[in-house]
């Protein structure tokens, strides 16, 4: 009896030690809500925390991360997309509960659906052809995300049977769907690289899209045009004395930027021990101290070059090329086929898409360019809106707004311009200072 009692107490101690502790404070910073998380460290813990915050469309304005030893401590300064502090108690409570869960749910509620993964060569009208095939095969698209980058396309599409509303499980039907979609993706010139598969949908959707594009080696392909990320700078070097590799990123700030970078580092089997993230105006400055999961830094020039390529690609994939169109209307069978066909017939190329349905309503976002990936003539946009419905399809600016944050006298900007502008040891001390672990970093 005493042995069982001791075992129960030990199990309770393990649970307490492994459960993250979360503090959310609206008083210590006048411009943002501060979210502090500390927990026993495991691979992927940082990504889980960032994923929870970005899935709520929160903007991470600053962050300080430290995880030496077997413990990690993260401090995030977050706002909503309008630059305001978080005041909704239900949102704050949700963040606390989610961050305190040791292993958060990564399926995002897509159980009961069949997940289709597609990769291939991008071309004008491809998405229209994909949705037309799915409609013909009696597949109802419930949710989907589509990314394009460097001439490639990756899509994760969640479907169910149009008639029964159930997931599609018949193996012969699945084979037929995969074959038809593979033929569409191949077109006339992508016989080898077009891929389709059915997924168990246990991975976070956007993380899976990064994995799919990375497996497709989009980072090695030359872009057809210079995109908005001309200001993107990624630098990687070793800090031999301390056994770290140091990653510096400077680029335009945007939603989910930190998620994209941390996701890539995690999936490439790097562990973040220290990091500092800062945004100033419309610029973001990120610095990471990383090692392999076996505790060693980057060991070769080819590896360093590949990491730079992969980080650049991860940041560029979500780049919002073109005009943002939002469709909100009653859902119906064939809606996506009709809308994307109208885009194609009017010379619009979809560079990114987010499809969702809820309560009988379709809420879809499309980023469109012309066939050469340049800005679309406004007359073409108005023609498309007339055909689809002016009240249903609207031109929208991104909800994200860059806000100039008031700088405190004791804050220092962090930047890179192809080289590290702060001494490496200084940044570690600053991280520890901001985490309250030392009294001074001077």
The predicted-structure confidence for 376-387, as pLDDT tens digits, reads as follows 999 999 999 999
In this structure, is residue 231 part of a structural domain?
yes
Claim to verify: residue 301 and residue 419 sit in the same structural domain: yes
- Asked whether 198 and 116 are in contact (CB, 8 A), the reply is yes
pLDDT at 106 over 80: no
What is the rounded CA–CA span in Å between residue 436 and residue 28? 13
pLDDT of 309 higher than 60: yes
Q: What is the pLDDT of residue 216?
A: 93
Higher pLDDT, 224 or 42: 42
Confidence (pLDDT) at 101? 78
Residue 2 lies in a domain: no
Number of domains in the chain: 2
CATH code, 381? 3.30.70.260
Same structural domain for residues 283 and 152? no
Beta-strand (E) ranges in 12-127? 21-25, 33-40, 59-66, 71-79, 114-121
| pLDDT digits 0-9 by tens, 182-205 | 999 987 666 667 889 987 667 899
**Residue 84: count of CB within 10 angstroms of its CB:** 13
Average pLDDT, the chain: 84
Same structural domain for residues 230 and 305? yes
Which of 16-30, 324-338, 392-406 shows the lowest mean pLDDT across its residues? 392-406
Is 50 exceeded by the pLDDT of residue 432? no
Q: Which of 30-34, 135-139, 186-190, 255-259 has the weakest average pLDDT? A: 186-190
Residue 238 has pLDDT above 80, yes or no: yes
**Are 284 and 278 in contact, with CB atoms under 8 Å apart?**
yes
Do 149 and 100 share a structural domain? no
Which positions ≥6 away from 144 have C-beta within 8 Å?
155, 156, 157, 158, 353, 354, 355
Q: Stretch 284-300: mean pLDDT, rounded?
A: 95
> How sure is the predictor about 134, in pLDDT bands with cuts at 50, 70 and 90?
very high
- Give 6-27 as a DSSP string: HHHHHHHHHHHHHS-EEEEESS
Sign of CA dihedral 165, 167, 173, 176: positive
Identify whether 289 is part of a domain: yes
Is position 344 within any domain?
Answer: yes
312 and 235 housed in the same domain: yes
pLDDT, tens digit, 9 for 90 and up, residues 311-328: 999 999 987 778 999 999
- Taking 60 as the threshold, does the pLDDT of residue 365 lie above it? yes
11 within domain boundaries: no
Query: Based on the domain organization, do 124 and 81 belong to the same domain?
Result: no
Q: How much is the pTM?
A: 0.84
Q: Are residues 290 and 418 in the same domain?
A: yes
Query: What pLDDT score does 319 carry?
Result: 79
Report whether 329 contacts 251 (CB < 8 A): no
pLDDT digits (tens, 9 = 90+) for 422-431: 334 444 445 4
Strands of the sheet with 139-149, listed across from one edge: 195-199, 114-121, 152-161, 139-149, 349-358, 361-369, 323-330, 393-395
In a domain, 167, yes or no: yes
Mark whether 133 and 235 lie in a shared domain.
Answer: no
Least reliable range by pLDDT among 12-26, 171-185, 224-238: 12-26
pLDDT value for 403: 39
Q: Is the confidence at residue 44, as pLDDT, over 70?
A: yes
Give the range among 37-41, 68-72, 78-82 with minimum mean pLDDT.
Answer: 68-72
Alpha-carbon span 153 to 78, nearest angstrom: 31
How sure is the predictor about 288, in pLDDT bands with cuts at 50, 70 and 90?
Answer: very high
Residue 7 lies in a domain: no
Q: Is the pLDDT of residue 273 over 50?
A: yes
Q: Is 269 left (phi over 0), alpha (psi -120 to 50) or beta?
A: left
Q: d(Cα 336, Cα 395) in Å, to the nearest integer? A: 18
Q: Domain check: are 49 and 179 in the same one?
A: no
Range of the domain at 69: 21-106+225-318+404-434
Calculate what percentage of the chain has a pLDDT beyond 70: 80
List, as own/partner pairs, every contact residues 163-170 make where C-beta atoms lie below 8 angstroms and the sequence separation is at least 24, other chains included.
Answer: 163/138, 165/140, 166/112, 167/112, 167/113, 167/114, 168/114, 168/139, 169/114
Instruction: Classify residue 14: in a domain, yes or no.
Output: no
346 plus 298 within the same structural domain: no
User: Are residues 340 and 235 part of one domain?
Assistant: no
User: Is the same domain home to 274 and 419?
Assistant: yes
């Amino acid at each position: 009896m005493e042995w069982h009692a001791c075992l129960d107490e030990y199990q309770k101690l393990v649970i307490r030690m492994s459960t993250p502790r979360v503090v959310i404070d609206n008083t210590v910073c006048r411009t943002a809500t501060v979210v502090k998380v500390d927990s026993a460290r495991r691979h992927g813990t940082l990504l889980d925390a960032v994923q929870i915050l970005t899935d709520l469309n929160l903007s991470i304005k600053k962050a300080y991360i430290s995880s030496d030893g077997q413990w990690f401590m993260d401090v995030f300064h977050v706002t909503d997309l309008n630059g305001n502090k978080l005041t909704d108690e239900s949102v704050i409570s949700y963040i606390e509960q989610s961050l305190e869960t040791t292993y958060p749910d990564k399926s995002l509620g897509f159980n009961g659906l069949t997940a289709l993964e597609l990769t291939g060569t991008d071309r004008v009208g491809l998405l229209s052809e994909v949705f037309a095939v799915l409609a013909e095969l009696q597949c109802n698209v419930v949710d989907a995300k589509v990314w394009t980058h460097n001439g490639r396309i990756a899509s994760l599409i969640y479907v169910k049977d149009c008639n029964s509303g159930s997931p599609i499980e018949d193996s012969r039907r699945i084979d037929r769907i995969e074959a038809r979609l593979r033929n569409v993706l191949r077109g006339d010139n992508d016989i080898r690289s077009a891929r389709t598969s059915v997924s168990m949908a246990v991975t976070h959707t956007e993380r899976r899209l990064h994995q799919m594009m990375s497996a497709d080696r989009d980072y090695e392909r030359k872009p057809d045009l210079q995109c908005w990320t001309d200001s993107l700078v990624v630098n990687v070097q070793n800090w031999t004395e301390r056994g770290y590799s140091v990653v510096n990123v400077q680029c335009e700030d945007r939603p989910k930027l930190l998620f994209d970078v941390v996701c890539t580092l995690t999936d490439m089997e790097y562990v973040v021990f220290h990091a500092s993230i800062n945004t100033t105006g419309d610029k973001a400055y990120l610095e990471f101290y990383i090692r392999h999961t076996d505790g060693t830094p980057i060991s070769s020039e080819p590896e360093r070059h590949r990491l730079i390529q992969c980080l650049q690609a991860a940041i560029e994939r979500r780049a919002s090329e073109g005009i943002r169109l939002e469709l909100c209307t009653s859902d119906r069978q064939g809606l996506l086929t009709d809308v994307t066909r109208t885009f194609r017939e009017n010379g619009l190329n979809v560079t990114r898409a987010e499809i969702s349905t809820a309560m009988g309503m379709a809420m879809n976002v499309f980023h469109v360019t012309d066939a050469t990936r340049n800005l679309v003539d406004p007359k073409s946009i108005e023609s498309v809106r007339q055909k689809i419905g002016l009240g249903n399809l609207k031109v929208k600016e991104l909800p994200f707004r860059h806000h100039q944050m008031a700088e405190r006298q004791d804050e220092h900007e962090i930047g890179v311009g192809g080289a590290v502008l702060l001494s490496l040891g200084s940044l570690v001390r600053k991280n520890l200072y901001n985490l309250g672990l030392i009294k001074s970093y001077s």
